[in-house]
Amino acid sequence: MPIYEAPIADFRFLLQEVFDYDEQVAGLPGLEDATMDVVLAVLEGAGEFVREVLLPINLPGDALGCTHGPDGVHTPKGYKEAYATYRNGGWPALAGDPAYGGQGLPTSLAIFVRELIASGSMSFGMYGGLSQGAYRALAAHGSDALKLAFLPHLIDGSWTGTMCMTEPECGSDLSHLRTRAVPASDGSYRITGTKIFISGGDHDLAENIVHLVLARLPDAPGGTRGISLFIVPKCLPLEQHGPLPTRSDNGVTCVSIEHKMGIRASATATLAFDDAQGWLIGEAHGGLRAMFTMMNSSRVGVAVQSVGVAEISYQNALHYAQERRQGRAPGAAHSANGERSDAIVLHPDVRKNLLTMKALVEGARALYVESAMALDIRVRHPDATARSDADGMLALMTPVLKSFISDCAVTVTNLGITIFGGHGYVHESGVEHWLRDARIVPLYEGTNAIQALDLVNRKLTLDGGKTVQAWLAEVAQQIQRNRDAPEIGALCAPLEVALGQLRSTTALMQDRVATDAVEAAAAASDYLRMFGLVALGAAWLRMAACAQAARGSEGGAFYRGKVKTARFYMQHLLPETERLQHGIRAGARAIMDVDPQEL
């Protein structure tokens, strides 16, 4: 079985020393209970759940996968029991509204827990993660009656939630959506259509499943403006649902499930809605706005999943590299213990791979933790400007978090295999499935290419471009603050170069958005990556400055590791911005001059 320790020390460092969680989040009205002791105790508990309950079922679950038969979808052995433990432990209720039975802890804390769960089993985390998204969309846009009917069940975990957008002809482009909703005389709607790739669309973990479904009303305008959001339970009547129903009695049928490359214990279902009863959430034709609440939360969730799967891959690679002995490492002190070969961690190439993994995982955690805190601040801060600043920052960062961090997860889990050598390629080693699992994160919740277009076309123009300028200025100030600090000052020069490149490329992209859509689209993914690299650089500078300040204290190796990883990142990974800038400046000609028949 793989090793895993919840990264509590890193969370403590980030929350206490880097981001001042006590002041920034536990200081918010209604979140006073979320003291550092409580937060760390919750994370310790989650870590224990992961080690004891999820890790033992993860690899077998990958081999078995979900199955679909006449009596519905079955999750692999052990998943039902694990879900019961998750429910009984109160995990789904963590950040729920106490008015509906929740524990009222910060949304950010529930997000941190999701990282740990993803380390234990990304598949398992899908069920609870989508339920949290459904909870948030309903809590933000549902009527009081709908909230009362559904939220307590999502909070206590007896029901799970899904997000039903994708259809056979409608993936990235929702304007082709065909599912129909017809008003019924009792104020509800009848939904008919087919949805594909629905995560958690059917399973045997909970008593009921509530689907958040995008559909068109009869009088809907064409395109994405004519889409509405409905809540459609698998089982009716709501008050009398029995335990663990295996057949839908609301006209929602699981037609099949996908046989996938990874996350094989997460059921990805094709669902047929046949005159299924549902209720409108939010305004008619305003479904995308409501669904965006769920999608944005899910996109941050994808970044969090990415860090979770990358973290466990890193921990195991590091452990293996310290144990596995092969060859003589140049420059290593030999023969003290008579060994004929050195631990592979002593080889420079292996060390570089491990540092790359550490830099990406811990840097990405810092990025998502700050954004997760903004999710609490934007709702609860007493000051309207602080709320709107947090909202703007989140809007800007969401596509960057989703795409850049999901790409990092693929890089990290791939390097994890490299460090295990040929053993990493073998299923039983329990390493390769993390790469297979991670391969979905750049694809779902809007592919990374779509996120890049969102960043370039919508987020760079937020508030007339002021949001991105404020973020760039904040990074510049951080550099300014640290420029003369011993040790840390040396990290500022490479970040300043990269920031300068990003600043001028941002202006170029804003100009292209206004004048040439092809040029803007051709460079969007490279631009997003450049943005992500600089954001990670800023996160590492901030972490290194805090670590340097604490270096003399207990935990010296932890802090030294932070400062040295920051140096590695600035010297070896950040300069990729140079290549990206070059490609972006070169323009779209070399790409678009090639006709499709010439490919």
Ligand X SMILES: Cc1cc2nc3c(=O)[nH]c(=O)nc-3n(C[C@H](O)[C@H](O)[C@H](O)COP(=O)(O)OP(=O)(O)OC[C@H]3O[C@@H](n4cnc5c(N)ncnc54)[C@H](O)[C@@H]3O)c2cc1C
Judged by CB under 6 A, the stretch of 67-75, 164-172, 272-280, 366-374 that binds ligand X is 164-172
- Rounded to a whole number of angstroms, the minimum distance from the CB of residue 148 to ligand X is 25
Bridge partner list, 254:
271
Contact string 211-250 vs ligand X (x = CB under 6 A)? ----------------------------------------
Q: How many residues does the chain have?
A: 599
- Rounded to a whole number of angstroms, the minimum distance from the CB of residue 449 to ligand X is 4
Residue 113's contacts (CB-CB under 8 Å, 6 or more residues apart) are 42, 43, 46, 91, 94
Whether 5 is catalytic is no
- Rounded to a whole number of angstroms, the minimum distance from the CB of residue 113 to ligand X is 20
Contact string 412-451 vs ligand X (x = CB under 6 A)? ----------------------------x--xxxxx-xx-
Q: Is residue 172 within the footprint of ligand X (CB under 6 A)?
A: yes
- Rounded to a whole number of angstroms, the minimum distance from the CB of residue 353 to ligand X is 27
Of the two residues 72 and 201, which places its CB atom closer to ligand X in the complex? Answer: 201
Select the residue whose beta carbon is closest to ligand X and give its number: 171
Cβ-contact 173, 144 below 8 angstroms: no
Q: Is residue 268 within the footprint of ligand X (CB under 6 A)?
A: yes
Q: Is residue 16 within the footprint of ligand X (CB under 6 A)?
A: no
- Rounded to a whole number of angstroms, the minimum distance from the CB of residue 201 to ligand X is 7
Q: Is residue 163 within the footprint of ligand X (CB under 6 A)?
A: yes
Backbone angles phi, psi at 167, to 5 degrees: -130, 165
Of the two residues 172 and 322, which places its CB atom closer to ligand X in the complex? Answer: 172
Positions in 537-566 near ligand X (CB under 6 A): none
Near ligand X by CB under 6 A: residue from 75, 166, 371, 505:
166
Place of tokens 């803007």: 520
Residue 109's contacts (CB-CB under 8 Å, 6 or more residues apart) are 34, 39, 42, 94, 95
Cβ-contact 418, 424 below 8 angstroms: yes
Q: Which of 445, 496, 519, 576 is catalytic?
A: 445
Positions in 186-215 near ligand X (CB under 6 A): 197-199
In the three-class reduction of DSSP (H, G, I as helix; E, B as strand; rest coil), residue 110 is classed as helix
Of the two residues 305 and 548, which places its CB atom closer to ligand X in the complex? Answer: 305
Instruction: Quote the CA–CA distance of 231 and 133 in Å, as a whole number.
Output: 13
DSSP summary character for residue 569:
I
Near ligand X by CB under 6 A: residue from 94, 164, 409, 573:
164
- Rounded to a whole number of angstroms, the minimum distance from the CB of residue 524 to ligand X is 8
Instruction: Quote the CA–CA distance of 189 and 228 in Å, as a whole number.
Output: 11
Alpha helices by DSSP H, 324-383: 348-380
Residue 375's contacts (CB-CB under 8 Å, 6 or more residues apart) are 107, 108, 111, 297, 300, 394
Q: Is residue 270 within the footprint of ligand X (CB under 6 A)?
A: no
- Rounded to a whole number of angstroms, the minimum distance from the CB of residue 258 to ligand X is 7
Residue 473's contacts (CB-CB under 8 Å, 6 or more residues apart) are none
- Rounded to a whole number of angstroms, the minimum distance from the CB of residue 540 to ligand X is 29
- The closest of 561, 579, 542 to 355, measured between CA atoms, is 561
Q: Is residue 399 within the footprint of ligand X (CB under 6 A)?
A: no
Size of site (CB under 6 A) for ligand X? 21
Q: Is residue 315 within the footprint of ligand X (CB under 6 A)?
A: no
- Rounded to a whole number of angstroms, the minimum distance from the CB of residue 388 to ligand X is 29
Judged by CB under 6 A, the stretch of 79-87, 165-173, 384-392, 478-486 that binds ligand X is 165-173
For the chain, what is the largest distance between any 2 Cα atoms, rounded to a whole number of angstroms?
85
Of the two residues 162 and 371, which places its CB atom closer to ligand X in the complex? Answer: 162
Distance separating the N- and C-terminal Cα atoms of the chain? 45
Near ligand X by CB under 6 A: residue from 136, 190, 260, 380:
260
- The closest of 300, 323, 496, 477 to 403, measured between CA atoms, is 300
Near ligand X by CB under 6 A: residue from 165, 400, 431, 513:
165
Tokens of 261: 């490359």
**What is the residue-wise DSSP string for 144-210?**
HHHHHHHHHHHHHTSEEEEEE--BTTBSS-GGG---EEEE-TTS-EEEEEEEEEEETSS-SSSSEEE
Contact string 120-159 vs ligand X (x = CB under 6 A)? ----------------------------------------
Of the two residues 19 and 197, which places its CB atom closer to ligand X in the complex? Answer: 197
Cβ-contact 539, 531 below 8 angstroms: no
Which residues are catalytic, by number? 445
Q: Which residues bind ligand X (CB under 6 A)?
A: 162-166, 171-172, 197-199, 260, 268, 440, 443-447, 449-450, 453
